[in-house]
Amino acid sequence: MLRHVISHLRRQDWAAVVIELVVVVVGVFIGVQASNWNENRETNQKAAVFTERLKSDLREEAWGYQMQVGYYSQVLVNAKRAADALTGKAPLPDEALLIAAYRATQLNNYTRRRATYDELTATGEIGLIRDAALRDLAMRVYTDPIFDQMVQEAKQSDYRKAFRMVLPYDVQQALSNKCGDQVVPVGDYHGIEHVLDYPCSTGLSPATIAADDAVLKKDPRLLASLQLQIVNTETDLGYLTMYYKHDIWDPLRRLAQEKP
């Protein structure tokens, strides 16, 4: 091509020179456009893949959110049962008190589904999520501290520590085996209803149960710390069910109802 242009210049064949240059420019333009089109196509494909991955993660987060609400609501119910029994407000049979007091100590290690979001933010490609509402929802879900905070509060609960310090380990093992958390597969919303609060029997002798109840009733730390835990759990559930209802919970539930 260059030799042709030089040859035309030597002959001062300006028309031919212009034609050659036009061919070059058009060729370059077409090449650039083809490259841009291919790059845009690859970007669009990548964006579509990440968008579907993020939606899939958030659908699991929707279930996880519901699990936290359901789980800690059941912890709260048992905590109030135990507190009312310990104060004499609403007495319980010996075994029912022991079970309620144990279940009030329980916590749910909430496993987050955040791999896609972390990858997008680590690589600076969060902009691939072009749905602004979806992107905003992901940011709220994965950056708000309330989810991890609830787990940490439960782990550090003075009541949990006090209960587990005063009862024999074999009694606690029996409670865990017979009356502990039930396994609920991810996505099973119905199973959340009875993940912790379900009929059970400890298998312990009446004498053992009565002795353990006596320990609970005579330790003033237990009731005081249990009352504090009730207030803290109610506060956290209030955040999940009211404060974050419109910004996080409702959008997650709508997304979970969409067909993948």
Average pLDDT, the chain: 88
pLDDT tens sequence across 76-135: 999 999 999 999 999 999 999 999 999 999 999 878 899 999 999 999 999 999 999 999
Which pLDDT score, from 0 to 100, does residue 8 have? 47
What is the pTM assigned to this prediction? 0.84
pLDDT tens sequence across 176-205: 999 999 999 999 999 999 999 999 999 999
List, as own/partner pairs, every contact residues 183-191 make where C-beta atoms lie below 8 angstroms and the sequence separation is at least 24, other chains included. 184/67, 186/60, 186/63, 186/64, 187/60, 187/63, 188/63, 189/63, 189/66
Both tokens assigned to 221: 């730390």
Both tokens assigned to 95: 């075994």
Which pLDDT score, from 0 to 100, does residue 6 have? 56
pLDDT tens sequence across 24-76: 666 666 666 655 556 567 888 999 999 999 999 999 999 999 999 999 999 99
Nearest-angstrom CA–CA distance, 150 and 236: 7
For helices 14-87 and 115-122, angle between their N-to-C axes, nearest 10 degrees: 140
Residue 9 — very low, low, confident or very high, per pLDDT cuts 50/70/90?
A: very low
Q: Which one is predicted more confidently, 142 or 40?
A: 142
Q: For the chain, which residues make up each domain, given as ranges?
A: 58-257
Which pLDDT score, from 0 to 100, does residue 164 have? 93
